[in-house]
Amino acid sequence: MAGIVTKQAKAGARRARGPRTPAQIGLVLIATVFLVVFLLLPLVVVFSEALSKGLGLYFAAITEPEAMNAIKLTLIAAGIAVPLNTLFGLGASWALAKFEFKGKSFLLSLIDLPFSVSPVVAGLIFVLLYGTQGFLGEWLADNRIRVIFAVPGIVLATMFITFPFVARELIPLMQQQGNDEELAARSLGASGWQIFRRVTLPNIKWGVLYGVILCNARAMGEFGAVSVVSGHIRGKTNTLPLHVEILYNEYQFAAAFACASLLALLALITLALKSFIEWRGHSGS
Amino acid sequence: MHPTAYAVGLTMARKHKSVLPGFGLSLGFTLFYLSLAVLLPMAALALKAASVSLDDIGRTLGSERVQAALWLSLRTAFIAGVINVVFGLLVAWVLERYNFPGRRLLDAFVDLPFALPTAVAGIALTALYSPNGWLGSIAGIAGIKVVYTELGIIVALTFIGLPFVVRTVQPVLQDLDAEIEEAAASLGATPYQTFRYIILPHVTPALITGFTLAFARALGEYGSVVFISGNLPGKTEIAPLAIMTKLEQYDYNGAVVIAALLLVVSLIILFIINGLQAWGRKRKLA
């Protein structure tokens, strides 16, 4: 703990210095210009294009029935995938951070697996499993269940893509916190559930929130994987990012950017919350 | 914490681990959900890939269009990774070492490519770099065309990959004491020498890890690229799009061959990253 405090004090002292020599000022300027041109301008373009045809068209574009359906489907997919993956993250971090067992690092790599799969490949594997030509295709057709080109496929693909987010955030955090407090609670006679609720959860709550907002941002914004399994049926299997694509490909640029601006707003909220949690995490502990 | 104290703590923790309840339940749930959500669909790809005939593999990988797509993806992901190493190190350095107005805001914005949906990034970059866009018109004066060219793909992949390099290098720079740099300077080292002999060796493992992460992400990237690339077969068609094309033609075997190849490359990269991180840790302890 003392090590962390001195390190932070040191970092603060170091940062207190502004750039002094012309070379240092030059470096700061180059980095700032690079970030503004490269990261900030695309974001500004989204809002400027969205409002280029006036506020009336902007609100018309985001309230037309197809857009509303796309928003609804996006909320459904994230509304299922995010809570399930959060539950998984909590369970996995308890098993992996609190206990030692054989094959743990292998299990960790398996949890990370969806991060190294291309979104298009992630969509493809669900087509191979649940599509009409897929391994379970015949059985699903016999039971009149549609997964691919329907809502369940979109939910499954979203779950896959966002699978590791919460677990990845919590496992290192819980490992770092150790077991001391839980063991003390145990020795005082607390049950497993009580330990988790009263001791562990309060300690990791900012970590959980951090994982959830990142998971949610990706779930609502996922494009490639969802694009493969959705079939682009307007008003039925279009999520918001897919709706943006369709409008864009139909040269309805202002409408496409209007819908995109909603997703850009989501990104801004995500960044703001993320910074807040990082700040809170620093000053809170 | 002192290393020996840490080791003692570790053994103590291990001794007590079985005291905590819920191991069976949490591990069982983890394995069950992992199997259902990830392993089962991945097994479908493995099974399908194993059943593809050599003929199909030869036909798919022998096609000039597929080869062009694979090389294009590897080439552009590599170039974007190199650009990100240079600018990522610069950005991480400036954010870590200097205090200036707007520093915290810029630091937060580094994560924008993580938070912004790829399709939104794709259409925004296309609008920005198109011949009558804000930046495209400037590039046009110099006779440079960005949209619907390989350069456009590189721009999109650089955008997507930047946070990987910055966020891997930043903590390492934070660890490196400014006093070491000051000591080097007080012994008469020029800023270049300090950078070349003190800073660069220290951040190299992190730089390579960041490059590899950005490269792996760029190789599979789809949403931000398909709008700006124009998707001309053999020219600006990337590997993930080649999979998409095969699927649209109901050539499932062809799609599986390209997908399996991409996946194997990603797994090799993942393996390299794990090795690199172990290397970085070892160097830190030494």
ipTM of the complex: 0.90
Residues 185 through 204 of chain B touching chain A, CB cutoff 8 Å: 191
**3-class SS of residue A117:** coil
Yes or no, beta carbons of A118 and B219 under 8 Å apart: yes
Is A3's pLDDT higher than 50?
no
Using the Cβ of B237 and the Cβ atoms of chain A, whether some distance falls under 8 Å is answered with: no
**Residues 6 or more apart whose Cβ sits within 8 Å of residue B3:** none
Is A7's pLDDT higher than 50?
no
Tokens of B111: 């994560």
**3-class SS of residue A251:** coil
Residues B119 and B123: their CA atoms lie apart, in Å, by 6
Place of tokens 């330990």: A195
Yes or no, beta carbons of B114 and A14 under 8 Å apart: no
Q: Count residue pairs from A and B with Cβ separation < 8 A.
A: 301
B121, B113 contact by CB (below 8 A): yes
Single-letter residue type at B122: G
Using the Cβ of B12 and the Cβ atoms of chain A, whether some distance falls under 8 Å is answered with: no
pLDDT of residue A9: 43
B19, B96, B134: residue with CB nearest A186: B19
Tokens of B182: 């000051």
* Buried-state track A23-53, b at ≥16 Cβ within 10 A, e below 16: ebeebbeebbebbeebbebbbebbbebbeeb
Name the CA dihedral angle for B195, B197, B200, B206, rounded to a multiple of 10 degrees.
-150
Taking residue A150's Cβ as centre, other Cβ atoms within 10 Å add up to: 17
Burial of B6 (0-12, 13-18, 19+ CB in 10 A): exposed
Query: Which of B31, B73, B98 to mutate: most A Cβ within 10 Å?
Result: B98
pLDDT of residue B280: 75
pLDDT of residue B286: 62
- CA-nearest residue to B37 within chain A is A160
Is A15's pLDDT higher than 60?
no
User: In angstroms, what separates the C-alpha of B13 from chain A's closest C-alpha?
Assistant: 7
A225, A81 contact by CB (below 8 A): no
pLDDT values of chain B reduced to their tens digit, one per residue, 286 residues: 444 544 544 554 454 446 789 999 999 999 999 999 999 999 999 999 999 999 999 999 999 999 999 999 999 999 999 999 999 999 999 999 899 999 999 999 999 999 999 999 999 999 999 999 999 999 999 999 999 999 999 999 999 999 999 999 999 998 887 788 888 888 888 888 888 888 899 899 999 999 999 999 999 999 999 999 999 999 999 999 999 999 989 999 999 999 999 999 988 988 888 788 788 777 766 6
Local confidence band at A19 (pLDDT 50, 70, 90 cut-offs): confident
Q: What is the tens place of the pLDDT at every residue in A193-211? A: 999 999 999 999 999 999 9
B9, B93, B116: residue with CB nearest A264: B116
Place of tokens 């496992």: A171
Cα–Cα distances in Å, from B275 out to A167, A233, B9, B161? 22, 44, 26, 21
User: Span A122-140, mean pLDDT?
Assistant: 93
Residues A149 and A225: their CA atoms lie apart, in Å, by 12
Residues A258 and B202: their CA atoms lie apart, in Å, by 45
B156, B222 contact by CB (below 8 A): no
Is A169's pLDDT higher than 60?
yes
Residues B216 and A117: their CA atoms lie apart, in Å, by 9
Phi, psi dihedrals of residue A52, rounded to the nearest 5°: -65, -25
pLDDT of residue B124: 98
Is A147's pLDDT higher than 60?
yes
Mean pLDDT computed over every residue of chain A: 90
pLDDT of residue B164: 96
Local confidence band at A20 (pLDDT 50, 70, 90 cut-offs): confident
Residues B119 and B122: their CA atoms lie apart, in Å, by 5
Yes or no, beta carbons of B44 and A228 under 8 Å apart: no
A70, A238 contact by CB (below 8 A): yes
Taking residue B122's Cβ as centre, other Cβ atoms within 10 Å add up to: 30
The helix (H) or strand (E) run that includes residue B28 is helix B23-34
Domains with residue ranges and CATH for chain B? 46-285 (1.10.3720.10)
Instruction: Assign 3-class secondary structure to B231-249.
Output: CCCCCCCCHHHHHHHHHHC
A156, A147 contact by CB (below 8 A): yes
Using the Cβ of B77 and the Cβ atoms of chain A, whether some distance falls under 8 Å is answered with: no
**3-class SS of residue A80:** helix
Query: Which of B8, B11, B20 to mutate: most A Cβ within 10 Å?
Result: B20
Is A136's pLDDT higher than 90?
yes
A283 vs A67 pLDDT, higher one = A67
**Residues 6 or more apart whose Cβ sits within 8 Å of residue B154:** B76, B79, B80, B83
